[in-house]
Amino acid sequence: MNKQTILCVDDEEIILNSLAIQLKRQFGDKYAYEFAENGEDALEIIEELYEEDITILVIVSDWLMPGLKGDEFLIKVHQKFPDIVKILLTGQADEQAVERAKKQANLHKCIHKPWKTEELIDSIKSGIAY
């Protein structure tokens, strides 16, 4: 059986490393983890995993990234994969972008950087339970 996956998208490697540490510390080997530095790469990863019949449970995405902004990326994901739980993790998203993601991508949570590990983990757990 293929492992269920959590995908993290952020253009800052230090953020991705921090997320990896926090997720692995909390969930261990319960899930697989994938990381992308922009929305375009993340879309490719999603397609590859889908072709391999691997389920992505949650996407944690930054908003301000080169190319696709986080809300645009999550809307694209939602159009093709509406069951994936979407969390925006950002220090810079404007309220219009957050509202757009809520309406058009069924955004589960918006967490502001710097985030608290507990808030992130609780958001992921509530998203998976949803």
| Domain boundaries, given as residue ranges, for the chain | 5-129
What fold, for 5-129? Rossmann fold (3.40.50)
Could you tell me the sign of the dihedral formed by the alpha carbons of 61, 63, 66, 67, in that order? Answer: positive
- Mind listing the pLDDT tens digit for each residue in 65-121? 999 999 999 999 999 999 999 999 998 878 999 999 999 999 999 999 999 999 999
CB-based contact 41:51 (threshold 8 Å)? no
Percent of the chain with pLDDT over 90: 92
Taking the model in full, what pTM does it have?
A: 0.96
Burial level of 6, CB count in 10 A (0-12/13-18/19+)? buried
